[in-house]
Amino acid sequence: MRKLLLLCLTFGLLLAALILAPLSGATKNGTSSGRKPDGKKTTKQAPTAPSVVTAVGFGVSRPVRELAQEQKTVKDPSQVEIKDREELLEQRREQRVKVEAQSRAGLMGLLRMTCS
């Protein structure tokens, strides 16, 4: 059973290699046939000048130079507050729980008012 499986796998790999070799542009002798990996032939074209096209539908931001100048700089590195990511996530979770509790309390109050 294992011999048959090994034989089938070997045959499958050999078959795949034979099928994929022409697609990769590999040739036995001479130069490549000029095919791309997707199977399409390439054509050599004369280089053209780059065309400049304005982007449409994008927002315009200020130059990076101005953004960098507005950024706060700290002269003494000991004044920098290091923010703990886990602590920030925990604070967000606590705030979310408080908001959910308040919304549930509001919904329960409305439900009680409508039922009585």
Over 80: is that where the pLDDT of 85 sits? yes
Contact in structure between 39 and 23 (CB atoms under 8 Å): yes
Contact 34, 25 (CB under 8 A): yes
* pLDDT value, residue 12: 94
- Evaluate if pTM is beyond 0.85: no
Q: What is the pLDDT of residues 31-81, one digit of tens each?
A: 555 555 555 666 666 677 878 777 677 777 788 888 888 887 777 877 777
First to last CA, the chain: 76
